[in-house]
Amino acid sequence: MKITMAQLNYHIGNFSGNTDKMLSAINEAKQAGSDIILFSELSTCGYPPRDFLEFDDFIKLAEESIERLKSVSDGIAIVVGSPSRNPVVEGKDLFNSVYFIADGDVQFIQHKTLLPTYDIFDEYRYFEPASEWGIVEYKGKKIALSVCEDIWNIGNENPLYTVCPIDEMMPFNPDFILNVSASPFSYKQAEERLNVIRANVERYNLPMFYCNHIGAQTEIIFDGGSVVMGPTGNVYDEMPYFQECIRTYDLEEVTSSPRSQTQEKDKIALIHDAIVIGIKDYFSKLGFTTAVLGLSGGIDSAVTAALAARALGGENVRCLLMPSQFSSDHSIADARQLAEKLGAPYNIIEIKDIYGAYMEKLSPIFGDLPFNVTEENIQARIRGALNMAISNKYGNILLNTSNRSEMAVGYGTLYGDLAGGLSVIGDVYKTEVFALARYINKDNEVIPINSIIKPPSAELRPNQKDSDSLPEYDVLDAVLYEYIENRRDPQDIIAMGHDEALVKRALRLVNRNEFKRYQTAPVLRVSTKAFGVGRRMPIVGKYLS
């Protein structure tokens, strides 16, 4: 038996486009003599569809996609994820299902049992969990069908759940397992995914074909990395990350061969590729083509510009250089050098006079009050207004250049440097931004070395450095990582050897600045706990304030 895996990039709600992609893949699989083609979770509608699922018309369009797939299922079985209706009165109206289509009809439907409701997931809001399990027989083989999370409770050991769906299928003696998935990217996920698949394979002594999405849906990114694993736990194949890919496998070869090959899993390389596809898909799926950003000569805007140029083409990334009286000459030179390296159009707009006009109008109100963060924020907001003017006039989407460390502690100005339609590196700590810069420069110098080695500064007052207001980033990032990703209590972080006063100050800043993050752009998710939909904190909470 031959099985084709189609790892594709879907577009939420684009039923005709998604189905056309699948039809093309089916044609390719037929030419390869395949018996079964496997797509991923909710392929017809894209993942996650969220409240679109509450519209009856949305479900009807998914059903029409299934009808189109049925019409081409002569000689090949199609395994595809799609929502299905719950025919009974009790429970949710929908299931998250995997369809087995062959010979012009739906032969079998298996509903998803384990509905993740944590981090970025909210499936129990929409779907009823399965309460029955079975297998489908096709061409002399017994096949277990499963949907994503259903393989993440091996032996019922996951405390989130009370049933192991694959265990329930074992009495039917399946020959292999097919899994349709929408497993979001984090830089740790690829390795963890292999471990989970291997644990299933070794428990049941069956090969598994695991098909994942690729591409980005707003802030959530899917890396692909679809897996074919033999019954002994060898990775027969791991598909490329962040690329559409269609490959056909011989079941007997997968079952008997000791072959094992996996993709490289370098953290910074994965983050780089994830952000590039995140930018590319955000623009293409919304119908945008050009971006604008403020280029300061610092490392954050430099890395953002370089990533945007790789996603969109340098010619489609307009850079605004907006020096003030506090900007150093080398910052302007560094910004100009980068824009020219990227082939990005740029304009220089000095803001000294604009700032002066603000201060003249405000001086009767401010009187003799001393210079403070107010004047710094005015400069940031002038730059935000200029960026937005270009965005409005030319249809460029403003890219936000704030890093995660700054966003965590509120080191940014609302309606100023926190403005933008997409936060590119808002899930990348400052220390990781430096690593990204070095990765971007690995073959040749793209980002000026001076932007990498000079002390970080917002350049909003004379001789300003970030370290005047914040701990050194390597110290700060370690504390933030333990609090945000690992959800450690303050006393636990202090017990790890971190300074008590620093920990309490940093965590207080994180909690107090939730109101800023609530008003910022979607953040491309590359970690296990990004700001945004996967981290839901109250704005007015008192904890650690």
Q: Which residues pair with 94 in a beta bridge?
A: 85, 127
Distance CA 167, CA 200 (A): 10
Render the burial of 440-451: b for 16+ CB within 10 Å, e for the rest: beeeeebbbeeb
Please pick, among 41, 432, 459, 482, the residue that the annotation labels catalytic. 41
CA distance 271 to 268: 5
159, 162, 167, 168: CA torsion to nearest 10: -170
At residue 77, φ and ψ (nearest 5 deg) are -90, 140
Please give the Cα distance from 429 to 472 (Å, whole number). 12
Among 21, 45, 128, 148, the active-site one is: 148
Selected catalytic residue, list 21, 112, 285, 430? 112
Give 137's Cβ-side CA count (13 Å radius).
Answer: 3
Asked whether 339 and 447 are in contact (CB, 8 A), the reply is: no
> Is residue 148 annotated as a catalytic residue, yes or no?
yes
First vs last Cα of the chain: how many Å apart?
62
Residues 455 and 441: their CA atoms lie apart, in Å, by 19
Active site residue 361: no
Axis crossing angle, helix 267-286 with helix 430-440, rounded to the nearest 10 = 90
CA 544 to chain centre: 29
- What whole-number distance in Å separates Cα of residue 191 and Cα of residue 528? 13
319 as an active site residue: the answer is no
Strands 36-38, 77-85: pairing is: parallel
Task: Tell me the one-letter amino acid at 13.
Answer: G
The crossing angle, in degrees rounded to 10, of helices 299-312 and 430-440 is: 50
Query: Residues with catalytic annotation?
Result: 41, 112, 148
